Structure 1
Amino acid sequence: MKPNLKSKEEVARIREAGAILAECHREIGKMMAPGITTAEIDGFVESFLAKRGAKPEQKGYRGFPYATCASINEVVCHGFPGPQRLNAGDIVTIDMVVNKNGWLADSAWSYRVGDVNPEADRLLKTTEKALYAGIDSAKPGNRIGDIGYAVQRVAMEAGVGIVKPLIGHGIGRQMHEPPDVPNFGRPRSGVKLLAGMVITIEPIFTLGETGAVLWDNDGWTIRSADGSLGAHYEHTLAITEDGPVILTI
């Protein structure tokens, strides 16, 4: 399928949703401390968005019941918020899609709960570094494989695992639009990047080198197969003639 190119006005609409999302993440960062529950964070997000005339797009999406995905430690993606209190040393990813007037933005961030051990810290820094390496490659004339290769190189150099089934995607009025944006690839391969494309880049890595994952019986929660920690960082960005522009900051 061809990517759905956006006009400058449509990109501005997505940026509006992205600004709300970024502000929400900044507030979550202030809340992240031992003793808080992910259910409390989820409730905060829903209220925060409502006050800004926005809504959580994934709530109700294919039956998903929450405003956020909240993934703790070995849960790498799509975790359910719940009453479990966070402990010092945990890492937790909050992933959300904001709908503002029918236009969507998507961003995930992995947070430290208090001080984390050196290996957890290394995983977080590596995954965030890979996000920006992928973004730097998202230039018109490059290809999807260039993004994936940039992300993959960071993981390989650090000796961490790539969760290959989980990928970035186009976004706009729909949560998932063409093209798919894998976290691995070959340079100069795949869909050509064009000005007007709006995509997410979202490396998801594990401390285990394989990156293998298992789905829980709830059909959503995804855990590392070896029980190792996972991390997930994601921005929504527009491809412009001048290069990538992050819309979720």
Structure 2
Amino acid sequence: MNRAGEVFDAARADFLRWSNRLWRPLGEVLVSVARPSTGDRVLDACCGAGASALPAAHAVGPTGAVDAVDLAAALVAEGAREATEAGLSHLRFHVADVRSWPSRTAAEPYDVVQCGYGVFFLPDLDADAKALCERLRPGGRFAVSTWLSGGMERIVPVGRAAAAPERPDLAGEGPRGPSARLDTEARLHSWLDSLGLVDIQIRPVEFRIPLHPDDAWSFYLGAAMRAFVEGLPQDALDRTRARFTDGLRRAGIDMLDASSLIGVGHMPA
């Protein structure tokens, strides 16, 4: 988790360039499916700059409360700034490891725990997600958004291959990450069921936007792929960018396919 926080801290400027086009719309979709309501208490895990925490705060209103937690301090600061400007005093941003936030014995339970594209970064996907569910009241909802198979996964191997000549440790296809366990409706449903949740619903979401080569490189540097090139000198970055642009052209990728799955399960009452 600390490594992910460092990567996204470094990615702040490029990440924020994509907020209005990608992260905020997808965050709004997560909240529309999680459906926090007036007065609810919400935990937004792996909140980034608040793409789903901010709309959740609007949904619960001043009688509710939203705790937004992430290790990427630069993104958390951006979310806190926006919350202050919007007068959302009931939305609180925290730089912390969500696995230990808050003390389960001392904290009031949440009505909703939501996590937008963040469960992949939990060191132990199953155990850590179960711990998040334990923050819920009986009948509370756990909502996650994940990438749909055949979409975002197409661009990552191109990014990896572009960086491999500069980083020999990246040679080869590399292992598929935890997201591969959650990238179909059946897999996501099975995983939520394994957490002990009931009344599970899965909603597919189609989301595609044109991808200009210049924007593609900004996305590379503002997303998890940045870990492939973090610390490289400028000349190596320039070579990686050229290979990445050429790789997208050869793969026929001129759209960013961010199609997703939103899964919601309930804690047994």
TM-score, normalisation: structure 2: 0.29
* Structure whose CA Rg is larger: 2
The structure carrying a bigger strand percent of its residues is 1
Task: Give me the TM-score of the superposition, normalised by structure 1.
Answer: 0.30
